[in-house]
């Protein structure tokens, strides 16, 4: 009898005691991991309201913060885009606004010191619900605005973080032409989450193979007006050429006459849609054609790329972590 009782107790130890001990140990480890993650995360709280400088009216308007995010998302991205792409845009827009709010006390914007953000592309485009409805066809409020609002509500309060800190440069643009850019190749600062990545699903993107032709005289005049400090001299097909490209494929440096220009400088002076361009010369030998792909600066989230990823089955978090390398959403 004694041996039977010992056998039963031994069996209970193996089948109940050991799993219970292991479970307690592993559970404790999980809780510690979560706690450590929480301690390392500098979580930012989203305010109830935000002040926005309305440029055309030259006044500050105080509005609900999430209503502002909805207005930005609807202004920056077509409502016809996939809902997951709209969600991704809403998180980027919310993070951008919070970055401006957090910087506001340190340095107020020169163009609108009365508010941390404005309603133009100087910050990010914003239109009120009323104005958006006026600009769209009948029925858009139900089929378009409500779709955008639903996407924004699904991400309410969510922001982008990198290494526990909120992302301060959640840049976005229209279309990339297939590859985004390192931030330092376009702007002055390098950010670990703004690195060149592929953007393969942009079949429906606008601004493909756009051609703009200029006479040599027009190129010289436009560059002189924009950058008067650089002498150009006599132009010919021999001294108009691309010198180097960035890792994202855009023009890094270009020779025009006697001077060198950044690809972004050429884009700005000539009004090109993108710095992802090639050059060709006319039969007359006195004109040059720039053929560009993509629209915008090329850093961060490609909006058409986001829509393409969504249509391929990716959710908004997968989209965001692809375009903002190493980030997380909280």
d(Cα 280, Cα 163) in Å, to the nearest integer?
A: 45
Q: In this model, does residue 30 exceed pLDDT 90? A: no
| Overall average pLDDT of the 285-299 stretch | 95
Encode pLDDT of 307-321 as tens digits. Answer: 999 999 999 999 999
Q: What is the pLDDT of residue 242?
A: 98
Query: Look-up: residue for tokens 């055309």?
Result: 56
Quote the CA–CA distance of 250 and 258 in Å, as a whole number.
Answer: 22
**Among all chains, which residue has been given the structure tokens 């989450």?**
193
pLDDT at site 29: 35
Evaluate whether 230 touches 259 at the Cβ level (below 8 Å).
Answer: yes
- The model's pTM is 0.85
The pLDDT tens digits for 165-197 are: 999 999 999 999 999 999 999 998 999 999 999
- For residues 18 and 203, which has the higher predicted lDDT (pLDDT)? 203
What does the pLDDT read at residue 212?
97
The secondary structure element, H or E, covering residue 252 is: strand 251-256
Q: Which residues pair with 49 in a beta bridge?
A: 64
Q: Which helix (H) or strand (E) holds 50?
A: strand 49-54
**Distance in angstroms between the alpha carbons of the first and the last residue of the chain:** 60
Q: What was the pLDDT predicted at 285?
A: 80
Mean pLDDT of all residues in 236-259: 96
Query: CA 323, CA 103: separation in Å to the nearest integer?
Result: 24
Q: Burial, 67: exposed, middle or buried (Cβ in 10 Å; 0-12, 13-18, 19+)? A: middle
Averaged pLDDT score across all residues of the chain: 90
Position 283 confidence tier, pLDDT thresholds 50, 70, 90: confident
Instruction: Tell me the helices (H) and strands (E) count for the chain, helix number first.
Output: 12, 14
Question: Which comes out higher in pLDDT, residue 285 or 259?
Answer: 259
pLDDT band at 284 (very low <50, low <70, confident <90, very high): confident
Q: 104-158 pLDDT, tens per residue?
A: 989 999 999 999 999 999 999 999 999 999 999 999 999 999 999 999 999 999 9
């Amino acid at each position: 009898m004694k041996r039977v009782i010992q056998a039963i107790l031994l069996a209970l130890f193996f089948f109940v005691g050991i799993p219970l001990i292991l479970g307690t140990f592993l559970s404790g480890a999980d809780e510690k991991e979560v706690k450590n993650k929480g301690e390392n995360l500098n979580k930012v709280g989203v305010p109830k309201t935000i002040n926005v400088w309305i440029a055309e009216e030259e006044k500050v308007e105080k509005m609900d913060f999430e209503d502002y995010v909805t207005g930005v998302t609807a202004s920056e991205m077509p409502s016809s885009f996939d809902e997951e792409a709209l969600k991704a845009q809403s998180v980027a827009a919310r993070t951008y606004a919070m970055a401006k709010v957090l910087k506001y006390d340190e340095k107020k914007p020169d163009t609108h010191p009365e508010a941390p953000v404005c309603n133009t592309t100087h910050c990010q485009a914003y239109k009120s619900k009323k104005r958006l409805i006026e600009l769209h066809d009948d029925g858009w409020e139900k089929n378009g605005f409500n779709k955008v609002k639903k996407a924004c509500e699904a991400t309410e309060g969510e922001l982008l973080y990198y290494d526990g800190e909120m992302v301060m440069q959640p840049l976005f643009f229209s279309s990339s032409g297939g590859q985004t850019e390192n931030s330092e190749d376009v702007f002055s600062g390098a950010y670990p989450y703004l690195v060149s990545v592929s953007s393969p699903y942009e079949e429906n993107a606008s601004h493909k193979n756009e051609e703009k032709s200029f006479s040599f005289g027009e190129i010289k005049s436009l560059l002189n007006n924009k950058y008067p400090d650089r002498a150009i001299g006599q132009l010919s097909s021999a001294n108009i050429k691309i010198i180097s490209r960035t890792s994202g494929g855009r023009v890094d440096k270009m020779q025009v006459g006697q001077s060198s220009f950044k690809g972004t400088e050429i884009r700005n002076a000539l009004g090109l849609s993108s710095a992802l361009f090639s050059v060709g010369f006319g039969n007359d030998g006195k004109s040059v054609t720039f053929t560009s792909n993509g629209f915008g600066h090329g850093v961060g989230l490609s909006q058409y790329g986001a829509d393409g990823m969504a249509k391929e089955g990716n959710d908004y978090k997968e989209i965001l972590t692809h375009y903002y390398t190493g980030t997380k959403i909280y």
